[in-house]
Amino acid sequence: MIKDSQIDGMFTHINQQGRAKMVDVSEKKKTVREAIACGSIYMKKSTLEKIDKGEIIKGDVLSVAQVGGIMGAKKTADIIPMCHQIMMTGCDITFQLDYEKSKVDIIVTTKTIGETGIEMEALTAVSIAALTIYDMCKALDKSMVISDIRLLRKIGGKSGEINNF
């Protein structure tokens, strides 16, 4: 098994035959790693209002999205083909209703102690939470769009801290 730890500026997931591999991380150091990712789902103002009222009175759409997102984060290695299995030590999701731009913002923090970064788990949680909101509102609103899913911050590992704020 060829070590990939020094490869830089090359695709790290492609083996010598040009096909995908799951890169060897067994010589990487275990460190505390944290990632923050975000994304948004744009919708009609009336849909946003209904989620908002629902949250106050009955609290549901975002609660389900919260659970869906966290459970989705735990499935990351199962759904992203070349992702390593990671034991996430923490995961938290925050939602912000933005009436001006008529969207819900989703912010996810994930944490682990391991050999590889935890950003795919954060990005997956954002995506699944957004898809869950979509699913729960789709009878009302056929025009929703999920956008701006990206990494905000990554701490730990060889590359140190990355900030995309």
CB of 101 to its own copies, least distance (A): 14
Spatial separation of the C-alpha atoms in residues 66 and 138, rounded to whole Å: 18
Of 1 and 100, CB closest to its own copies: 1
Cβ-contact 95, 65 below 8 angstroms: yes
Nearer to its own copies, 59 or 99 (CB): 59
C-alpha distances (whole Å) from 163 to each of 21, 48, 76 are: 28, 30, 22
Task: State whether residue 95 is helix, strand or coil.
Answer: strand
CB of 59 to its own copies, least distance (A): 4
Q: How far is the CB of 104 from its own copies (least distance, A)?
A: 13
Q: Residues 52, 135, 141, 148: which is the catalytic one? A: 135
| For its own copies, the closer CB: 78 or 98 | 78
Cα–Cα dist 101/8, whole Å: 39
The question of whether 135 is a catalytic residue gets the answer: yes
Q: Residue 163: phi, psi to the nearest 5?
A: -125, 120
Backbone angles phi, psi at 122, to 5 degrees: -65, -45
Enzyme catalytic residues:
135
